[in-house]
Amino acid sequence: MDFDLNEEQRMWQKAVHDFVEAEVRPFAREADETGEFNWKAVRKMGPLGLLGLNIPEEYGGPGIDAVSAAIAIEELGWGCGSMALAIAAHNGLGSTPIVLYGSEQQKKWLPLVSSGQNKLGSLALTEPGAGSDLQGGVRTKAEKDGNEWAINGSKMWCTNASIAEYIITLVRTDPAGGSRSLSMIIVPTDAPGLTIGPPEKKMGLHGSPTHAVIYEDVRVPLVNLLGEEGKGLHQTLSTLDGGRIGIGAISVGLAQAAFEYATNYARERQAFGKPIAELQAIQWMLADMATQIEAARTLLYKAAWLKEQGRPYTMEAAMAKMFATEMAEKVCRDAIQVHGGYGYSQEYPLERLYRDARLMTIGEGTSEIQRLVIARQVLKMEF
Ligand SMILES: Cc1cc2nc3c(=O)[nH]c(=O)nc-3n(C[C@H](O)[C@H](O)[C@H](O)COP(=O)(O)OP(=O)(O)OC[C@H]3O[C@@H](n4cnc5c(N)ncnc54)[C@H](O)[C@@H]3O)c2cc1C
């Protein structure tokens, strides 16, 4: 076994880290306070390859492996949760289904959205009445009318909708229901009848735009069907396997940032005549943080490695996502504890990290759903 990153991966990690430190991290607080999306940084991400993490070179991607892709999202998470979520959603949700299932015609979107010169990609699965239960709950429907799909319904919580070229939309194409009744359709955001709601007011991740989307007789050509008709649920689940590595990676990055702030603070802050780093209670918190981050990162890289080998990785991605997201919440909580009252202050970044981390156990499948996925695999049962 070899636990080291290879030379290429190390160089990539350093390049992304340096970029994030210069172009993303300094604006994280501003993004949180104003809700402004940091387009300036995104424009520069195109040439670096950060907007095409899962895209093959022939369609404009950087041609990196899945571990390197996870590393990039982790570094973004270290720099800014909002930016990390936007870029993870663009790569993992907005581009991957086209890479996996798109026709040659549809793949023409890929160089466009990965260049940094245009808007990004997004995926709309969740609805006001359906999140975890997409199969039973999706009501947005698409009906064939001549050579077009007519789409009606509404979606919730769509990351990047307002900064996207298109929204890949999960729709019901067979009103009879069942596991083969859903399909994915690419809907350009300038399609008449499509309304993107105002940005949702959220607990954290203020610099990552999230929107409701309304479809009122939206018409797109039949060729905008992505993959196979009736395979939308299957395509969604395999897209989410990869997306979960992304959410796990953001979580490891957020936790790493909180841990670094906590260790630095513990060395400087004095209590009872010595740095609090010399207090065993603080040392134990730091030791637990370091151990949990290491464990999460190892699970994450293993899941990414399996993906890269072309081996099944559904369970490992669910384990990595569940463990890393719950770990990040705890690490951010303890980093606030190490900072005492200052940890609770908006003058310090810890409370932002804590708010940003809170989403991670919910988005792209809640912790409860991850446990369900893992239990299914270990029990080898359908339920
Ligand atoms: C900031 C943000 C960004 C998002 N971005 C996107 C996006 O880009 N695209 C998109 O499609 N969606 C997005 N989402 C939606 C997100 O994926 C859903 O919120 C999530 O999947 C949970 O669905 P829900 O909110 O409907 O909760 P529900 O499914 O209603 O769940 C409510 C509770 O019940 C539990 N539960 C449900 N079913 C089970 C079960 N079978 N067993 C045990 N417990 C269960 C859940 O774990 C949860 O605790 C985003 C959400 C947020 C907050």
**The pLDDT of residue 374:** 97
Active site residue 364: yes
**The pLDDT of residue 380:** 85
Token pair listed for 226: 């992505």
Is residue 247 within 6 Å of ligand 1 at its C-beta?
no
- Contact indicator for 353, 258 with CB cutoff of 8 Å: yes
362 alpha carbon – ligand 1 mean position (Å): 6
Closest CA to 187 of 267, 91, 87, 109: 109
pLDDT string in tens for the chain (383-residue length): 899 999 999 999 999 999 999 999 999 999 999 999 999 999 999 999 999 999 999 999 999 999 999 999 999 999 999 999 999 999 999 999 999 999 999 999 999 999 999 999 999 999 999 999 999 999 999 999 999 999 999 999 999 999 999 999 999 999 999 989 999 999 999 999 999 999 999 999 999 999 999 999 999 999 999 999 999 999 999 999 999 999 999 999 999 999 999 999 999 999 999 999 999 999 999 999 999 999 999 999 999 999 999 999 999 999 999 999 999 999 999 999 999 999 999 999 999 999 999 999 999 999 999 999 999 999 986 65
- Contact indicator for 259, 353 with CB cutoff of 8 Å: no
- Contact indicator for 356, 82 with CB cutoff of 8 Å: yes
Alpha carbon distances (Å) from 41 to 25, 90, 170, 181, 260: 10, 15, 30, 40, 23
366 alpha carbon – ligand 1 mean position (Å): 6
Atom of ligand 1 lying closest to residue 126 CA: 11
**The pLDDT of residue 13:** 98
Q: Which residues contact 310 (CB under 8 A, 6 or more apart)?
A: none
Tell me the CB-side half-sphere exposure of residue 94, using CA atoms within 13 A.
Answer: 32
Token pair listed for 273: 């005549």
**The pLDDT of residue 382:** 62
Alpha carbon distance 306, 316 (integer Å)? 8
Is residue 366 within 6 Å of ligand 1 at its C-beta?
yes
Alpha carbon distance 70, 59 (integer Å)? 20
Is residue 89 within 6 Å of ligand 1 at its C-beta?
yes
Tell me the CB-side half-sphere exposure of residue 341, using CA atoms within 13 A.
Answer: 0
Atom of ligand 1 lying closest to residue 170 CA: 11
Sign of CA dihedral 215, 221, 224, 227: positive
Alpha carbon distance 220, 343 (integer Å)? 50
Alpha carbon distances (Å) from 48 to 13, 56, 67, 264: 12, 14, 16, 31
Q: What is the pTM of this model?
A: 0.97
Alpha carbon distances (Å) from 14 to 17, 86, 223: 5, 21, 41
Atom of ligand 1 lying closest to residue 127 CA: 26
Q: Which residues contact 237 (CB under 8 A, 6 or more apart)?
A: 314
Is residue 240 within 6 Å of ligand 1 at its C-beta?
no
Pairing of strands 120-124, 164-172: parallel
Q: Which residues contact 154 (CB under 8 A, 6 or more apart)?
A: 127, 128, 140, 212, 213, 214, 215
229, 316, 364, 368: the active-site residue: 364
Nearest residue (CA) to ligand 1, atom 22: 131
Alpha carbon distance 158, 215 (integer Å)? 13
